[in-house]
Amino acid sequence: MRTYHFPLDLVRERSPERPVALVRPAAVSVAARWFQDNLKADVFYAVKANPSRWVIETLVQAGVTGFDVASLAEIELVRSVSPDARLAFMHPVKSRAAITRAYFDHGVRTFSLDCEDELQKILDCTGGATDLNLIVRMAVSAEGAAYTLSGKFGVSTDQAPGLLLAVRQAVVDGLMGVSFHVGSQCMRPTAFQAAMAQVGRSISRAGVIVDIVDVGGGFPSVYPGMVPPDMSEYADAIHRGFNEMPVS
């Protein structure tokens, strides 16, 4: 990969006739290190955000060891860059073939789901494995987000307690968790804390204790006319929300 200090340098040297994509690996490294240094959590990169190989390579060099994957293609990409990376298959709807290959061929042990049919599918395709980490995707309010995902994925508040109890009973030697996504480009740090409180109430109603809380994504970028709050406000809100949840 060639390096240029300014886009104009590339234009002067190469006079490209077709569109050229310019990337900033240093910015990726800075962001990765910020999350690792400021969140009291294990940091996973959602590969679907940008599945370019150079992004994965840069993140691994920056110390990221966990990757949220949504397809076999993403699993294979990460494994080709970092064979020992921790992978979480977080798409709540997966084909049987994808589950089977992820578990038996690629060593994936963490799977997301948002209904009992998906739970049973995971158990069937892994041969009733006892080392699964099962994560329940919860639907939450997307207030403050530019784009909501709760209409697409996530068990509803009414149905969550029953699913949480079923997953708790299915977990043997692994861990049980919950996940949510407040929506893309979330401009309100308190939305994370509110979502965690909502999820916490469902956990309490189910009468279970969870081991993992996946706060998903939704962290905003800077766009013209849209400057988000400082990232430290998001970290503080997440830490406050986590401390109030029924987590082991």
Q: What is the pLDDT of residue 157?
A: 92
3-state SS, the chain, equals: CCCCCCHHHHHHHHCCCCCCCCCCHHHHHHHHHHHHHHCCCCCEEEHHHCCCHHHHHHHHHCCCCEEEECCHHHHHHHHHHCCCCEEEECCCCCCHHHHHHHHHHHCCCEEEECCHHHHHHHHHHCCCCCCCEEEEEECCCCCCCCECCCCCCCECCCCHHHHHHHHHHHCCCCCEEEECCCCECCCCCHHHHHHHHHHHHHHHHHCCCECEEECCCCCCCCECCECCCCHHHHHHHHHHHHHCCCEC
The predicted-structure confidence for 64-97, as pLDDT tens digits, reads as follows 999 999 999 999 999 999 999 999 999 999 999 9
Of the chain, the percentage scoring pLDDT greater than 70 comes to 96
**Whether the predicted pLDDT of 182 surpasses 80:** yes
3-state SS, 39-98, equals: CCCCCEEEHHHCCCHHHHHHHHHCCCCEEEECCHHHHHHHHHHCCCCEEEECCCCCCHHH
pTM: 0.92
**Whether the predicted pLDDT of 147 surpasses 70:** no
Q: What is the pLDDT of residue 152?
A: 72
Which sequence spans correspond to the domains of the chain? Answer: 131-248
Q: What is the pLDDT of residue 146?
A: 54
Take residue 185 and report the two structure tokens written for it: 């480009």
Q: What is the pLDDT of residue 183?
A: 87
Q: What is the pLDDT of residue 1?
A: 72
Question: Which is more confidently placed, 229 or 149?
Answer: 229
For range 182-194, the mean pLDDT: 92
Whole-number Å distance between alpha carbons of 177 and 200: 12
Whole-number Å distance between alpha carbons of 51 and 78: 9
**Whether the predicted pLDDT of 41 surpasses 90:** yes
Question: Which is more confidently placed, 99 or 186?
Answer: 99
Mean pLDDT of the chain: 94
CATH class of the 131-248 domain in this structure? alpha beta
Band of pLDDT at residue 150, cut at 50, 70 and 90: low
Q: What is the pLDDT of residue 151?
A: 61
Band of pLDDT at residue 131, cut at 50, 70 and 90: very high
**Whether the predicted pLDDT of 143 surpasses 70:** no
For range 156-175, the mean pLDDT: 97
Band of pLDDT at residue 184, cut at 50, 70 and 90: confident
**Whether the predicted pLDDT of 230 surpasses 90:** yes
